[in-house]
Amino acid sequence: MKMKKLAVVGGGLMGSGIAEVSARAGHDVIVIESNEDAGKAALGRLEKSLQRAEAKAKIDSASAVLARIRVETDLGAVADRDVVVEAIVEDEAAKVALFKQLDQIVEAPDAILASNTSSIPIMKLGVVTSRPTQVIGIHFFNPVPVLQLVELVPSLLTSTDTTERSRAWVEGSLGKQAIDCQDRAGFVVNALLIPFILSAIRMFESGFASAEDIDRGLVLGAAHPQGPLALADLIGLDTTKAVAESLYDEFKEPLYAAPPLLQRMVDAGLLGRKTGRGFHTYS
Ligand code: NAI
């Protein structure tokens, strides 16, 4: 089974994490970003994270891992890849456009075209390609180098061979643990987590309790490693809102509706950790 050459399209929070764990596992990795500045930012994120891993003795050499990663802005560079993992913004039209391009570019007839989407149906991405049997959701969790879980999401058209090769890759090569999910918005984890986060936002929005107390409540009273508002800041409020909207779109349940405060914060560019301010502030 040939799964050595990997590309990650989108080198943001998740894409750089997926690139890191893949290069740490010995893969040859290309990261595609949309422009030079975003490419530099992706490389910076990778360097910082790998240096942290080296300092904690989790890897021998950050530079040896980095040497297996190339950041490019030309999507044509993915032509010879065995696996392409898409991790661009959570926007259906953007992902559909990208999968159409990937289908034209990726040469290997058995290559896997995966999406890290949190909520967009895999079927929508599969059917715009000529090879829906090879399109699958491989959903990592943030921060990718730390969290063990991967959700495997075959669409109705994905082949068993694609699912099993994906499982072998994430479990065998990357050392992750996979759970199987049906192709429904939110899969298992976000379908449960997002309504919980949205309830915390509504509680804060109504003035019922402060952001600090809501988070402290869940940390100290329910042994959560971090509170729901801090978790939303970590996920990114833009991504949280996008996932909520996909869930709402799919199920039409009020519990998935993004509260107005979340929408205003995204409009204001208060996106959480990545911009320094969300429900909490970060230096
Ligand atoms: P992000 O905003 O940090 O990164 C997205 C990156 O994609 C940016 O660096 C952007 O420049 C790049 N990009 C956008 N369009 C592109 C294109 N056409 N070609 C190449 N690069 C492009 O977003 P994040 O958080 O990394 O999310 C990415 C995907 O992962 C989304 O689908 C999201 O739902 C999913 N996800 C996010 C998680 C989270 O906790 N943030 C967890 C699991 C999945």
pLDDT, one tens digit per residue, over 38-72 is 999 999 999 999 999 999 999 999 999 999 999 99
Q: How far apart are the first and last CA of the chain?
A: 45
Q: CA 98, CA 34: separation in Å to the nearest integer? A: 12
Give kind and range of the element (H or E) at residue 202.
helix 189-205
Amino acid present at 61: S
Q: Report pLDDT for 119.
A: 84
ipTM of the complex: 0.98
**Count of H helices and E strands in the chain?**
11, 8
User: Does 1 have pLDDT greater than 70?
Assistant: no
Closest to 138 in 3D by CA, of 156, 122, 123, 160: 122
Ligand 1 center from residue 239 Cα (angstroms): 8
- The atom of ligand 1 lying closest to the CA of 234 is 40
The answer to whether the CB of 4 falls within 8 A of the CB of 43 is no
User: Does 251 have pLDDT greater than 90?
Assistant: yes
DSSP string, 145-201: TT--EEEEEE-TT--HHHHHHHHIIIIIIS--EEEE--SSTTTTHHHHHHHHHHHHH
Ligand 1 mutation target, pool 100, 239, 274, most atoms within 8 A of CB: 239
- The atom of ligand 1 lying closest to the CA of 242 is 34
Q: CA 194, CA 256: separation in Å to the nearest integer? A: 7
Q: Which of 33, 86, 90, 151 is catalytic?
A: 151
Annotated catalytic, 151? Answer: yes
Q: Average pLDDT in the 251-259 region?
A: 96
Amino acid present at 264: R
- Which amino acid residue places its CA nearest to atom 44 of ligand 1? 118
Q: How confident is the model at residue 3 (pLDDT cuts 50, 70, 90)?
A: confident
> Domains of the chain (ranges plus CATH)?
5-180 (3.40.50.720), 189-275 (1.10.1040.10)
Hunting for tokens 């990357």 — which residue is that?
174
Q: CA 65, CA 131: separation in Å to the nearest integer? A: 32
pLDDT above 70 covers what percent of the chain? 99
Binding pocket residue ranges, ligand 1, CB within 6 Å? 9-15, 32-34, 38, 87-90, 94, 98, 116-118, 139-142, 235-236, 239
Annotated catalytic, 118? Answer: yes
User: Does 222 have pLDDT greater than 80?
Assistant: yes
Q: How confident is the model at residue 253 (pLDDT cuts 50, 70, 90)?
A: very high
- Beta bridge mates, 137: 115, 153
How far does CA 187 lie from the centroid of its chain?
13
The runs of H, that is alpha helices, within 34-142 are 36-55, 62-66, 92-105, 122-126
pLDDT digits (tens, 9 = 90+) for 135-178: 999 999 999 999 999 999 999 999 999 999 999 999 999 999 99
Q: Which of 49, 116, 118, 173 is catalytic?
A: 118
Ligand 1 center from residue 16 Cα (angstroms): 9
Q: Average pLDDT in the 228-240 region?
A: 97
Annotated catalytic, 34? Answer: no
Tokens representing 199 are: 């309830």
Hunting for tokens 């980095």 — which residue is that?
66
Ligand 1 center from residue 13 Cα (angstroms): 7
The answer to whether the CB of 117 falls within 8 A of the CB of 151 is no
Ligand 1 mutation target, pool 34, 73, 88, 141, most atoms within 8 A of CB: 88
Q: Which of 119, 139, 155, 173 is catalytic?
A: 139
Q: Report pLDDT for 191.
A: 94
- Which amino acid residue places its CA nearest to atom 10 of ligand 1? 10
- The atom of ligand 1 lying closest to the CA of 235 is 40
User: Does 7 have pLDDT greater than 70?
Assistant: yes
Annotated catalytic, 36? Answer: no
Ligand 1 mutation target, pool 14, 90, 147, most atoms within 8 A of CB: 14
pLDDT digits (tens, 9 = 90+) for 72-96: 999 999 999 999 999 999 999 999 9
The pTM (predicted TM-score) of the whole model is 0.92
User: Does 195 have pLDDT greater than 80?
Assistant: yes
Tokens representing 218 are: 């869940």
